[in-house]
Structure 1
Amino acid sequence: MDRYIPADKTLFYCFIAFLLWIPLPLGSNRPWSSSLLIVFTALLLGGWCWLYLRGRIEVTPVFKKALPVFGLLVASNLWVGYQWISNHTLDAHATLQQWILGWSYIAVFALALLLINQRSRIQLVLYALVLSGTAQAIYGGVMTLGGTEYSFFIPKDSYTGVATGTFINRNHLAGYLVICLSLGLGLMIATLHTERSGSWRNRLRRWMMALLGEKARLRIALIIMVIGLVLTHSRMGNTSFFAAMMITGVIALLLSRRATRSTVILLGSLLVIDIFIVGTFFGVEKVINRLENTSTQRETRDDVNRYSVKLLDEHLLTGTGAGTFYTAFPAYREADIRIFYDHAHNDYLEFLSERGLIGFIPLLLAAALSFAVAIKAQWKRRNALMRGVSFGCIMSMIAMSMHATVDFNLQIPSNAATFMLVLALAWIASYHTSRKTNL
């Protein structure tokens, strides 16, 4: 008897390839690479719609559950479209670009909910991000430690001496690595044993499997990504990772009805081994020095935030138009800002100043609802994989919300698209039910 092959199998693998590709070309933060992102998502969504119209696939129950978030994302992007059509923007071309990109991000959210519909697919997506993050960390580490300073086939003209991977900015590599680390840690937690080992023979067998099996490879990948994160010397990237890990660990232990010793040991080992051993050899003291000097060295981006508040006062409700911060800000900055800033170095201020309350509130509600659903999954689900996925999503969202206060990760297409995947995974963790079908 022939095995059933899902009609969307090829689309799913193309989606995996898309997730692996988007961080490579400078974080897809160039016109040509962001255009490829737009084309890829349009083709994938078009392919899914074609299969759906032919009656070969169905809308997943998880997608139906996530319709409120989908609606909020669409509402925010419709407002961006209104800004462009009504010429309620300082730069119509930039707003049009953001409007089209916005539909691509929404497509990533929808495709994740529609295509990641099996347990094996959930695992493959998580492993794909671990693979991508590990590759970025290795590449960034080799470029930095080897003295060969290249990003994506081009010599680096900034951030030399620190890891940037295939990104331009070290903070954006740090943001991407934190997402991959969070989901990888969730995957690691999903493999932990919840029952007692019993005899010494069983304990020995588990230890050998941990040393030689899949867990060991995953743990090595996590260590490599931590090394890459430390080598970025990103202050908030490192701070948000360890803070989010501790906060999420506490949440998981409080919500777990059976707090396992193995979970506590894993989180503790990450703090002890990664900070004191990995950090000793790969320069964590440089990150600490940058943190200590932050309060004594004058940071112009703090002034950028201060002047951005003045921008908000005049455009709080409707915004200046998506993608127009670089156009609007020069009119509000003062003489002490001598550097050109194309972003606010604060995602909250940038989204709010460009989209206004009308466009910003739906985005905030979408993230808040997804976070609440991830918390619900951590409390309600007993399935180890679903709990691991929810752990990774909670940790990612906490870390990104912290990093967003001092940087603009969500303005980088690859990081924004990957974060949309995190939002979708939160709903999958809460509402996915197993189906006995082949990948």
Structure 2
Amino acid sequence: MDKPHSTADNSIFYAFLGLLVWLPLPMGSNRLWSLAFFSAAALLLLSYWCFLFLHQRVSSSRPLRKAWPAIALLLLAAFASTFQAIPGLSLSVEPFRSQQQTLLSFALIAFFTLSLALLNSHKRIKLAAYTLIACGLFQAIYGSLMTLTGTEFGFFTHKDSYNGVATGTFINRNHLAGYLVICLSIGLGMMIATLKSTASGNWRNRLRRWMNALLGTKALLRITLVMMVIALVLTHSRMGNTSFFAAMMITGALALLLGRRASRSTIILLTSLLVIDVFIVGTFFGIEKVVDRLEQTTATRESRDEVDLYSLELFNNNLLMGTGSGTFYTAFPEVRKKDITLFIDHAHNDYLEFLTERGLIGFTPLLIAALLTFIIALKAQWMRKSPLMRGLSFGCLMSMIAMGLHATVDFNLQIPANAASFMLILAFGWISLYFKPQKGPNTVVNR
């Protein structure tokens, strides 16, 4: 049994939440100075937690101990990147960029580890989840207001691109869409965690539940989800919207299939999301523009197919070790042809970018870690009785499916804010299966 939780790491926990809030603000932390700040902060927080652990002032949580295979796989990929970044070995076409990405890799692992170590109580788990949802709400409100009012500000500066669509404090609308989908996934999971699995009984109990749904925290959460969907539609991101609705339907089907205690309220909630969000929200906030962009997507209008083909050629030329993490924009000119006239800094396909930069040796551990986490979250959806744990596993599964789909046409995982938020989502997957509350004289344990 886990030792009683200490409050010695309270300062680390709240600093962790502060870092989670900060990450999306400075252009998704996709600048060298903000990347360096995040990396330093995450590594320092983990170092301080390890210091407390060595002095027996905090204890390791059960999810942290159980997640050692995922941590080991992520470290293996990070050490492969470290090996690439050694200047004298000439394994990277740009060692300095590889060194930056290696630092970011270790920072993301630190963020994942901190999530597992610090989220050791129901209160902390909920605080972390609702903090992420609140960040999504802020991005939704800010991005929507900038677009609907025509103000068009990003992060303290006028936008010089993507005018007329929501970008929030990000630069690219697709990255705001990816971030919103992460927040929506965990928001929907927390919504499911509030649903009652038992029958209402008499009319008084039904009335009490209806009033609670209309006036309580559940109503606030539902309104928050609607506002984030509005912003998602306003991004006009094709795959952002497609991946959200596809992932919601796939995960909903999995939850109903695996959830031996799935209630009628779960079915009603998922159905209402499709009806209200698509037909009502979409009608007023321009989902037809997203549909138009999907219909107009043809091979003659898009250059991503050619970029993907040339990226595969780059990968074949550097099969095992890749060109060096963070070096795609430097290595791509080697294989690009005259039909690509635009400046290409990313592959617009996360899988291909990881493969070309890290090779099979660096990419395979990342893929295995993701697949292992997906299986863990599936198992939690099947085994756990706790509404909170089932909600976390739902959010993890939905986010992983959505990000996996979006990764085929964009590079969300190259954006530090999205990558770090996704690491928290992966941690939720492990927590959903292995978290157990501390037993006390007045504690009722609901697995």
Q: If the TM-score is normalised by the length of the shorter chain, which range does it land in? A: over 0.9
Is the aligned partner of 1:378 residue 2:389?
no
Matched residues in 1 for 2:139 and 2:349: separation? 24
Instruction: Name the counterpart of 2:297.
Output: 294
Q: Which runs of 5+ in 2 are unaligned?
A: 441-447
1:45/1:4 Cα in 2 relative to 1: closer, same or farther (>3 Å)?
closer
Q: 1:175-205 CA deviation, whole Å, 9 max, x = no partner?
A: 0000000000000000000000011111111
Matched residues in 2 for 1:176 and 1:4: separation? 32
CA apart distance, 1:436:
5.7
More deviation, 370-379/304-313? 304-313
Is the aligned partner of 1:285 residue 2:288?
yes
Instruction: Name the counterpart of 1:410.
Output: 413
Instruction: Name the counterpart of 1:30.
Output: 31
Instruction: Name the counterpart of 2:11.
Output: 10
Q: 1:16-75 CA deviation, whole Å, 9 max, x = no partner?
A: 111111000000000111111011102211221221122100121211100000000000
Q: Secondary structure at the match of 1:113?
A: helix
CA apart distance, 1:4:
8.7
Instruction: Name the counterpart of 1:114.
Output: 117
Amino acid corresponding to residue 127 of structure 2 in structure 1:
L
Amino acid corresponding to residue 282 of structure 2 in structure 1:
G
Instruction: Name the counterpart of 1:68.
Output: 69
Instruction: Name the counterpart of 2:395.
Output: 392
8 Å CA contact retained: 2:155, 2:169:
yes
Query: Which residues of 2 match residues 285-434 of structure 1 at below 5 A?
Result: 285-295=288-298, 297-434=300-437
| Matched residue count | 435
CA apart distance, 1:87:
2.6
Q: 1:350-396 CA deviation, whole Å, 9 max, x = no partner?
A: 00000000000000000000000000000000111000000000000
Q: Secondary structure at the match of 1:151?
A: coil
Instruction: Name the counterpart of 1:56.
Output: 57
RMSD of equivalent CA atoms: 1.2
Instruction: Name the counterpart of 2:141.
Output: 138
- The equivalent position to 2:199 in structure 1, one of 174, 196, 201, is 196
Amino acid corresponding to residue 63 of structure 1 in structure 2:
L
Q: 1:370-425 CA deviation, whole Å, 9 max, x = no partner?
A: 00000000000011100000000000000000000000000001101111111111
Matched residues in 1 for 2:215 and 2:359: separation? 53
Q: 1:74-105 CA deviation, whole Å, 9 max, x = no partner?
A: 00010011111223010000000001010000
Instruction: Name the counterpart of 1:241.
Output: 244
- The equivalent position to 1:256 in structure 2, one of 228, 243, 259, is 259
Instruction: Name the counterpart of 1:155.
Output: 158
CA apart distance, 1:111:
0.3
Q: Secondary structure at the match of 1:144?
A: helix
Instruction: Name the counterpart of 1:229.
Output: 232
Q: Secondary structure at the match of 1:62?
A: helix
8 Å CA contact retained: 2:120, 2:435:
yes
**TM (normalized to structure 2)?**
0.96
Q: Which runs of 5+ in 1 are unaligned?
A: none
CA apart distance, 1:297:
4.7
Amino acid corresponding to residue 35 of structure 2 in structure 1:
S
CA apart distance, 1:136:
0.1
Q: 1:226-262 CA deviation, whole Å, 9 max, x = no partner?
A: 0010000000000000000000000000001122110
**TM (normalized to structure 1)?**
0.98
Query: Which residues of 2 match residues 153-192 of structure 1 at below 5 A?
Result: 153-192=156-195
- The equivalent position to 1:273 in structure 2, one of 254, 267, 276, is 276
Amino acid corresponding to residue 326 of structure 1 in structure 2:
Y
Matched residues in 1 for 2:262 and 2:38: separation? 41
Matched residues in 1 for 2:386 and 2:275: separation? 28
Instruction: Name the counterpart of 2:213.
Output: 210
Matched residues in 1 for 2:39 and 2:6: separation? 28
Matched residues in 2 for 1:286 and 1:252: separation? 31
8 Å CA contact retained: 2:5, 2:58:
no
